[in-house]
Amino acid sequence: MKPSIKNIKGKKLIGKRIKMSLTNNLTHKLWAEFTPRINEIKNNITTELVSMQVYDSLYYENFEPSNEFEKWATVEVTNFDNIPNQMESFTLSGGLYAVFYYKGSSSDISIFQYIFESWLPNSEYELDNRPHFEVLGDKYKSNDPNSEEEIWIPIINL
């Protein structure tokens, strides 16, 4: 599986976040709180959802499944003029990303094993310390083997 390499401008996001780890996965709780309230966000750019992870700079260097990170459930917006109660804004800085088009269940982590254990070490890139995110469009179906999503991994040239 070969990714597309894209250089993007920053994105404005509105959503909810939660601190979690892989061993204490609170993704379902986060999306269960966010999804019923999406219609409160009035200035969406698209209907796509953005699932984002913000890791500290040593997350992958000293990887343990119990390491905590921030998980965000968001949508991209034109501006931050009207942020609903109990939601927050996030400005995703632009830069270079490897974009993997993935078809399969969101509970199958083999795509991430491939990215970090095979593709990245054998590429001309290294991981950058910026948020990772997934774009969940019309073909995304949680935990469905026919689900489709885009996985965006921040990279820099070696």
Q: How far is CA 93 from the centre of its chain?
A: 13
Query: Stretch 66-86: mean pLDDT, rounded?
Result: 97
Query: Stretch 43-49: mean pLDDT, rounded?
Result: 95
- In whole numbers, what is the pLDDT of the chain averaged over residues? 95
What is the SS3 assignment for 111? helix
On the CB side of 23, CA atoms within 13 Å amount to 6
Strands 11-20 and 125-127: unpaired
pLDDT score for 61:
85
CB of 155 closer than 8 Å to CB of 131: no
CATH of the domain at 89: 3.20.80.10
Query: Stretch 140-157: mean pLDDT, rounded?
Result: 93
Domain enclosing residue 145, as ranges: 4-157
Model confidence at 60: pLDDT above 90? no
pLDDT score for 40:
97
Q: Provide the number of structural domains found in the chain.
A: 1
Query: pTM for the whole thing?
Result: 0.94
Model confidence at 32: pLDDT above 90? yes
